[in-house]
Amino acid sequence: MLFYIPFKPESPKTRLSRLLSPDERVEFSFCMLDDVYSAVEESGHDPVVLTTHRLDGYEPGFDLGYETRLCPEPLTPAVNSVLDEAPVGVVMSDVCIATPDSVLRLVERGGDTDLSLAPGRNGGTNAFVSWTSEFEVDYHGTSYIDHLETARSRGIDTSTVDSFRLSTDVDEPDDLIEVLLHGEGMSHDYIADRFEVVENDERRVDLRRLDDGG
What x/- string results for residues 101 through 140 when contact with its own copies is judged by CB under 8 A? xx----------------x-xxx----------------x
**What is the C-alpha separation between 13 and 5, in angstroms, rounded?**
16
Stretch that binds its own copies, among 31-39, 59-67, 80-88, 163-171 (CB under 8 A): 163-171
User: Shortest approach of its own copies to residue 92 CB, angstroms?
Assistant: 15
**Which residue in the set 64, 104, 177, 192 belongs to the binding site for its own copies (CB under 8 A)?**
177
Q: Please choose, from the candidates 27, 38, 28, 32, the residue with its C-alpha nearest in 3D space to the C-alpha of residue 3.
A: 38
CB of 85 to its own copies, least distance (A): 27
199 forms part of the interface with its own copies (CB under 8 A): yes
Q: Do 50 and 71 contact (CB within 8 A), yes or no? A: yes
**How far apart, in whole angstroms, are the C-alpha atoms of residue 51 and residue 59?**
14
Cβ atoms of 169 and 175 closer than 8 Å = yes
Specify the length of the chain in residues.
214
Alpha-carbon gap, residue 131 to 89, rounded angstroms: 9
Q: Does 178 bind its own copies (CB under 8 A)?
A: yes
Task: Using CB under 8 A, list all residues that contact its own copies.
Answer: 99, 101-102, 119, 121-123, 140-142, 144-145, 162-167, 174, 177-178, 181-182, 197, 199-200, 203-205
